[in-house]
Structure 1
Amino acid sequence: MKRLLRRGLRDETGAVTADWVVLTALVVGLAGALMTILQDPINNGGTVIANRIAGSN
C-alpha cells in the first residue's frame, strides 16, 4: 500500500490537466465578470445608436 501511495505521489501525468482546468475556470470567471461590468455601457450605446437612426428618418 505504501509503495502504491509513493508511486502515485511521484506520478505527475495528471498535473497538466489540473493546470488547464484551473486556467479555464479562471478565464470563464473573468469573462463572466467582464460581461457583467460591460453590460450596461453596451446596452446604453445600443440605445443611443438606435435613437440616432430613428431620428434620422
Structure 2
Amino acid sequence: MIDFIKSFRADEDGAVTVDWVVLTAAVVGMAVLTYAALAENTQAVTNATGAAVLTAEDFLTN
C-alpha cells in the first residue's frame, strides 16, 4: 500500500491538463472583470454619442 501511495504521489500524468484548466479559468475571470469595468462607461459613451447625433440631426434639418 505504501508503494502505491508513493507512486501515486510521484505520478505527473494530467498535470498539464490541470495547468491548462487553471490558466483558462484565470483568463475567463479577467475577461469578466474587464467587461464589468467597461460596461457602464461604454453605455455612457453610447448615450452621449446618440445625443450628439440627434443634436446634429436637428441642427442640419432646420
Query: TM-score, with normalisation over the residues of structure 1?
Result: 0.83
Per-residue deviation, 1:47: 0.7
- Matched residues in 1 for 2:49 and 2:4: separation? 65
Runs of 4+ aligned structure 1 residues displaced above 6 Å come to: none
Q: Which amino acid is 1:21 matched to?
A: V
1:51 counterpart = 2:51? yes
Structure 2 unmatched runs, 5+:
58-62
Structure 1 unmatched runs, 5+:
none
Superposition pairs for residues 16-55 of structure 1, below 5 Å? 16-55=16-55
- Matched residues in 1 for 2:55 and 2:20: separation? 50
Q: CA RMSD in A?
A: 1.2
- Matched residues in 1 for 2:54 and 2:8: separation? 67
Q: How many pairs are equivalent?
A: 57
Larger Rg: 2
